[in-house]
């Protein structure tokens, strides 16, 4: 966080110094095109995805070329007595781009660190979406029971003052943290042969060899584990093959609808204050990388 603050302060101080020199220096008169392009460059390099992958070897010349084109288009002189101003503007644009990339670098590093802290080792175990499809196909062909759960946290039970989170970025961080915590609970509470996949704002849990009669116990186990470890309650919907559907899409739709309409038996219960541990969209499978026939 300290590096982020320092880099942001450096960028702000630099932009303020540029405009103070522009206003008060009798020997320099920067073109309006440069005055507009500098902050636009800073903002653009901060918000453009993948900015750190941009090659400085062509980024800086491209920005300088854009500056020259804008000055020419607005009728501002480029050479002669204005040559020193043009060179100074190009140097100022270069410094702005470098500082903006510096800020973006530290912000990206912070985001990656947060993702690593919240998700932890969950991402180390991945599988292809095809495993989910193949598991449903295997159960259908061999007439074996299989169940699918759609799981997400119940926002009404979260003991966090979301009203104080006034920025979208902060709210996204809280949501990401809670989803990662739920994923960690599922990862720890379920056996290795089960499959947990992230799908949007919730998870899909594939339970091979699990008939409908065994679901209540599994659901209560997951709810109890999440309440004890994270302090939040779960919304869970379930679907079974072949009773509810015979395709993956049908099972997922049925479970998702059940999750959205799930009414917890004790919605007024106070959460336990424990620290957190650590067609169909293509979810990221995070649990249960096993080979099955």
Report the length, in residues, of the chain: 293
Residues 131 and 275 occupy one common structural domain: yes
| Same domain, residue pair 91 and 155 | no
Q: Is 176 exposed, middle or buried (0-12, 13-18, 19+ CB in 10 A)?
A: middle
Same domain, 93 and 29: yes
Higher pLDDT, 167 or 40: 40
Please give the structure tokens belonging to residue 176.
């990401």
Task: Answer yes or no: do 69 and 169 share one domain.
Answer: no
Residue ending a domain, among 118, 136, 165, is: 118
What confidence tens digit (pLDDT) does each residue in 50-73 have?
Answer: 766 777 788 888 888 888 888 888
208, 135 contact by CB (below 8 A): yes
Shared domain check, 47 and 168: no
Question: Domain for residue 292, yes or no?
Answer: no
Identify the pLDDT of residue 159. Answer: 56
pLDDT tens by residue, 143-195? 999 888 888 877 776 555 445 544 566 667 777 778 888 888 888 888 888 88
Q: What's the confidence (pLDDT) of residue 56?
A: 77
Percent of the chain with pLDDT over 70: 73
Tell me the pLDDT tens digit for each residue of 214-265.
Answer: 999 999 999 999 988 888 889 999 999 888 888 888 999 999 999 888 755 4
In tens, the pLDDT along 79-115 reads 766 677 788 888 888 898 888 888 888 787 777 666 5
Mean local confidence (pLDDT), 130-142: 85
Last residue of one domain, picked from the residues 118, 149, 174 = 118
pLDDT of residue 238: 92
Shared domain for 53 and 168, answered yes or no, is no
Is the pLDDT higher at 194 or at 76? 194
- For residue 79, what are the domain limits? 2-118
The answer to whether residue 167 is domain-embedded is yes
The pLDDT tens digits of the residues spanning 43-56 come to: 888 887 676 677 77
Residues 155 and 260 occupy one common structural domain:
yes
The pLDDT, as a whole number, for residue 187 is 86
| Residues 62 and 206 placed together within one structural domain of the fold | no
Instruction: Count the domains in the chain.
Output: 2
pLDDT in tens, 267-287: 334 443 333 333 444 455 545
Among 118, 150, 183, the domain boundary falls at 118
Asked if 78 and 188 sit in the same domain, the reply is no
* 96 and 159 inside one domain: no
* 276 and 155 in a common domain: yes
To the question of pTM greater than 0.85 for the whole model, the response is no
DSSP letters, 118-178, are HHGGGGGS-B-HHHHHHHHHHHHHTT--EEEEEEEE-GGG--S-GGG--SHHHHHHHHHHH
- What is the chain's alpha carbon radius of gyration, rounded to the nearest angstrom? 27
Alpha carbon 233 to chain centroid distance? 22
| pLDDT of 33 over the 50 cut | yes
Tell me the CATH number at 148: 3.30.70.270
Let me know if residue 161 belongs to a domain: yes
Looking at the structure, tell me whether residues 74 and 149 fall in a common domain: no
In Å, how far are 1, 116, 142, 288 from 109, measured between CA atoms?
A: 10, 10, 48, 29
Domain contains 293: no
Residues in contact with 72: Cβ distance below 8 Å, sequence separation at least 6, in sequence order: 78
């Amino acid at each position: 966080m300290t590096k982020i603050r320092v880099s942001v302060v450096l960028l702000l101080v630099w932009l303020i110094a540029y405009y103070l020199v522009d206003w008060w220096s009798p020997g320099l008169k920067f073109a309006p095109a440069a005055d507009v392009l500098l902050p636009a460059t800073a903002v653009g390099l901060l918000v453009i995805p993948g900015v750190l992958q941009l090659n400085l070897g062509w980024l800086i010349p491209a920005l300088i070329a854009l500056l020259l084109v804008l000055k020419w288009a607005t009728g501002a002189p480029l050479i002669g007595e204005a040559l020193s101003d043009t060179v100074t503007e190009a140097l100022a644009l270069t410094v702005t781009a470098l500082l903006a990339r510096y800020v973006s670098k530290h912000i990206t590093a912070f985001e990656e660190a947060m993702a690593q802290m919240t998700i932890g080792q969950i991402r180390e175990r991945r599988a292809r979406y095809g495993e989910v499809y193949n598991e449903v196909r295997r159960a259908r062909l061999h007439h074996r029971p299989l169940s699918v759960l759609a799981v997400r946290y119940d926002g009404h039970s979260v003991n966090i003052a979301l009203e104080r989170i006034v920025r979208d970025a902060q709210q996204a961080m809280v949501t990401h943290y809670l989803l990662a915590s739920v994923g960690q609970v599922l990862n720890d509470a379920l056996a290795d042969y089960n499959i947990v996949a992230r799908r949007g704002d919730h998870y899909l849990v594939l339970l091979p060899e699990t008939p409908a009669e065994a679901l209540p116990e599994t659901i209560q186990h997951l709810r109890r584990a999440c309440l004890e470890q994270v302090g939040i309650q779960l919304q869970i919907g379930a679907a079974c093959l072949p009773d509810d559907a015979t395709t993956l899409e049908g099972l997922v739709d049925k479970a998702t609808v059940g999750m959205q309409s799930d009414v917890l038996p004790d919605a007024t219960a106070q959460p336990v204050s424990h620290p957190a541990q650590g067609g169909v969209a293509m979810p990221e499978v995070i649990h249960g990388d096993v080979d099955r026939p």
